[in-house]
Amino acid sequence: MSREQNPTPAAPLLGPRPGRLTAAAALAALEGAALVAGGVCIVVLGLTGDPDSRRQAVTGGVTLIVLALLPLLAARGLLLRRSWSRGPALITQVLALPVAYTLLQADSVAIPAGIALAAVALAALVLLVNPATTRALGIRGPGGDVRNEK
């Protein structure tokens, strides 16, 4: 095979990973871990407790576990400096904001969880759109040029 038919992968980005990128990956991993923990808890309570609908409880728990894949894969991609990972990480944060708002509207112990979720989502959004993060991921700005902002 010629070099054109089987191109070599792009050279990895040089230099240390910015702390902002590492922090964004950590926040995404934290959200994924929380979803897994919540899903496992719901499944266990659905199987061992006395829910109104055992099937509904197990389905809800399994759904949370499956949803955890998005932020966990995004966190791994961010740590490995894969440019594709910023999209799923941003989507996760944007989807977390309405959930946080809903938790804040409750008259229960869910309010602190809503505050924590909103803080994590907003912090991750700021970290993900930061120019240093964009440069580290090799994301090109408008016109196809890599951002040169410092």
User: What pLDDT score does 6 carry?
Assistant: 43
User: What pLDDT score does 13 carry?
Assistant: 52
What's the rounded Cα separation, in Å, for the pair 131 and 135? 6
Q: Which two tokens stand for residue 26?
A: 């950590």
Instruction: Examine the pLDDT at 146 and tell me if it is beyond 70.
Output: no
For 6-27, how does the pLDDT look when each residue is reduced to its tens digit (9 = 90+)? 433 443 455 788 899 999 999 9
User: What pLDDT score does 11 carry?
Assistant: 38
For 47-86, how does the pLDDT look when each residue is reduced to its tens digit (9 = 90+)? 998 888 889 999 999 999 999 999 999 999 999 999 999 9
The residue-averaged pLDDT of 19-46 equals 94
Regarding pTM above 0.85, the answer is no
Q: How many helices (H) and strands (E) does the chain have?
A: 6, 0
Q: What is the four-CA torsion angle of 20, 23, 133, 81, rounded to 10 degrees?
A: 130
> ∠ CA 26-127-18 to the nearest 5 degrees?
70
What's the rounded Cα separation, in Å, for the pair 73 and 111? 28
